[in-house]
Amino acid sequence: GQVHLLAEALNARAYLEGLDHHYQVALRYADRALEAAAKLPGHRVRGLSHLARARAYRYL
């Protein structure tokens, strides 16, 4: 439902901010995506959010 869409949207935003070299902002969006994904039963969105966070953290 809405939580899933929120987590996916925040994750996509984190990915795009990382592509634009805004790594601090990407890290914040990835953290928010992880918070939203923690409420979901599946692991796919949570895993994607972890990858986005790791990608942003690598370039800080």
pLDDT mean values, one per 10 residues, the chain (60 residues): 96 97 98 96 94 94
- pLDDT given at position 25: 98
Residue pair 45/3 in contact (Cβ under 8 Å)? The answer is no
**pTM, 2 dp:** 0.92
Structure tokens at 38: 């923690």
Residue pair 46/31 in contact (Cβ under 8 Å)? The answer is no
- Separation CA 56–CA 50 (nearest Å): 10
- The amino acid sitting at 23 is Y
User: Structurally, how many domains does the chain consist of?
Assistant: 1
- pLDDT given at position 16: 97
- Separation CA 7–CA 5 (nearest Å): 5
- List the domain range (segments joined by +) for residue 25: 2-58
